[in-house]
A and B are shown apart, each in its own frame.
Chain A
Amino acid sequence: MTRHRCPPPLLLPLLLAASLAGCGTDLLGNEGFEIDCDGQPCDWKLVEGEASLAASWHDGDAGADLSGAGRAVIEQRSAPLTIPGRELVLRAAVAREGTSIRFELDWYVEGEGQGATYWDREPLLVDSRGFEVDGEGVLAVEELVSTPSPEVSGLVLRVVKDGSGLAIVDEVSLAEPVVEVTP
């Protein structure tokens, strides 16, 4: 079994700096859908189709249940953000049967428009990237994703479900990959 650890510190100051910077800090908010904003999970939005954002594998565990017929899309917008590196790892808990689930990541740089929020200031889309979830059943998805530029400061993450059947997504995080240490 491969063990995942933070990069080993060479010196004490480096260790301190690393601990201040965090190890694998999540770029997304409300990864488990459990933080409630007026009856809906904060940060997440249903943008297409039908979905319940109330329960995942257990009635007491909030998550995105996109099961049912047709296409359903949920998204989260994160900005401004500073990416820790060009390579990031997206993790999610997924239950899938008879459906396809795709994670799409739209990367933006700051716009020059006017407005109160990052998204009001017309950010520029740099690139769209993504991947399809392989395998069926209950899966711990872990996928390396690359960013188009170190200058990106905005992200729209979409979870897209097509087809009919089981489709549950929860525990979605995007963070710096930890270094794999093989003894």
Chain B
Amino acid sequence: MIRLLASAACAAAILSAASPAAGDEERFSLTLRGAAFDRDDTGYADHAQVFGLGSPEVGGGGVVEAGVRVLPRLWLVGSWSAFATLGKRRLDALRVANHALLLQLAVTAARVDIDLQGEPTWLRLDLMGGGGLYWISDELDGEEQNASAPGARVGAQVSYGWRALGLSLSYGWHMSRARLEDRLGGALRAGGHELGAGLSLRW
């Protein structure tokens, strides 16, 4: 209970500390968002579907991003994302998961402070790019495959918020050679397109 109260007090302190005038002076950011990930597929997902296991092309998951501003409007952002798909068929299930650990540079390309009936709100667009490590794995009836490779991401994030708290929509294009292969020559890559929405804190 005490920890809960302390957390609430801390959150309140962060919200009250931020002001529209201090917008560009924010130093830290933390973003949590849920997202869908459309993996690059060259046959693997189609084959899984034909053989009754559903398509693992699109996975659901989330992204955690933590950033620090290093120059005016320039942020260094570390992120971890994970996405999974489960395709069931009778007693079997095909599990496909991909993860990425990335370091990105983000530029606040535009920011507008909006006074909404006395309440300080803001709208901003951040453009991001960077790279890191990608992993992808699958498991079906005890047979597993794992692959990892470096890769890159470019993306954009639109956020609207009040004081330190924001809602964000994000798109990311991931490119990686990490891939799973099936016995018919199909492949599913850890790269693809990510679309997400979530909450962000900036202080």
Q: Spell out A's residues near B (CB within 8 Å).
A: 32, 34, 55-63, 93, 95, 138-140, 166, 168, 170-171
Contacts and interface: CB of A to CB of B under 8 A. Distances in A.
Question: Could you say which interface size class chain B belongs to?
Answer: 20 to 34
Contacts of B138: 58
B88 interface: no
Contact of A60 (B52, B142, B184): B142
A95 B139 contact: no
Contact of B51 (A59, A61, A166): A61
Interface of B: 43, 46-48, 50-53, 89-92, 94, 138-144, 182-184, 186
B141 A60 contact: yes
Given A93-B50, A93-B51, A61 B92 contact: yes
Given A57-B184, A168-B184, 11 more contacts: A34-B91, A57-B47, A57-B182, A58-B47, A58-B48, A60-B92, A60-B140, A62-B141, A139-B50, A140-B50, A166-B184
Contact of B141 (A61, A139, A140, A166): A61
Contacts, number: 65
Contacts of A62: 141
Contacts of A140: 50
A33 to B, nearest CB: 11
Chain B facing A: main interface SS: mixed
Contact of A138 (B47, B52, B53): B47
A138 B183 contact: no
B184 A61 contact: no
B16 to A, nearest CB: 54
A135 to B, nearest CB: 12
Most buried by B among A32, A60, A63, A93: A60
Nearest to B91: A34
A63 B140 CA distance: 13
A94 to B, nearest CB: 8
A95 B143 contact: no
5 contacts: A32-B52, A57-B47, A60-B144, A61-B53, A62-B141
Contact of A55 (B48, B139, B183): B183
Nearest to B145: A59
Contacts of B92: 32, 34, 60-61
A61 B47 CA distance: 11
A61 B140 contact: yes
A59 B143 contact: yes
A57 B143 contact: no
Nearest to A59: B143
